[in-house]
């Protein structure tokens, strides 16, 4: 079952590019999106622990990060594209 995760990291600009590369290449990541500094939305069928292990092995230089499942108790100001991704676990059709 697909799950939506909020990934927050403390790696700055360099960390962002490393996380993007990981997300593009990890077999655990179905799709992803970013619109906030230091944060990604990740869609995966993997558990948070599996994603943690994969990211940690791929990008050992990132010292602080957390995966949190974005389930039903969520609210905020995001783009329509991000809300669609969180609700439907797939990118908004163009």
pLDDT value of residue 11? 77
Q: How confident is the model at residue 63 (pLDDT cuts 50, 70, 90)?
A: confident
First-to-last C-alpha distance (Å) of the chain: 24
Domain boundaries along the sequence of the chain: 13-73
How far apart CA 63 and CA 56 sit, in angstroms, is 9
> Which residue carries 């010292």 as its tokens?
63
Q: Residue 73's pLDDT is what?
A: 85
Mean pLDDT of the chain: 94
**Eight-state DSSP code of residue 54:** H
Q: Residue 43: pLDDT above 90? A: yes
Residues 77-87: pLDDT tens digits? Answer: 999 999 999 99
pTM above 0.85, yes or no: yes
């Amino acid at each position: 079952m697909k799950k939506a995760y909020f990934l927050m990291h403390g790696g700055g600009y360099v960390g962002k590019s490393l996380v993007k590369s990981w997300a593009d290449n990890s077999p655990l990541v179905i799709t992803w999106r970013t619109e906030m500094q230091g944060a990604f939305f990740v869609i995966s069928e993997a558990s948070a622990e599996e994603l943690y292990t994969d990211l940690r092995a791929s990008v050992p230089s990132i010292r602080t990060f957390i995966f949190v499942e974005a389930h039903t108790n969520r609210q905020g100001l995001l783009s329509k594209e991000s809300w669609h991704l969180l609700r439907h676990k797939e990118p908004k059709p163009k």
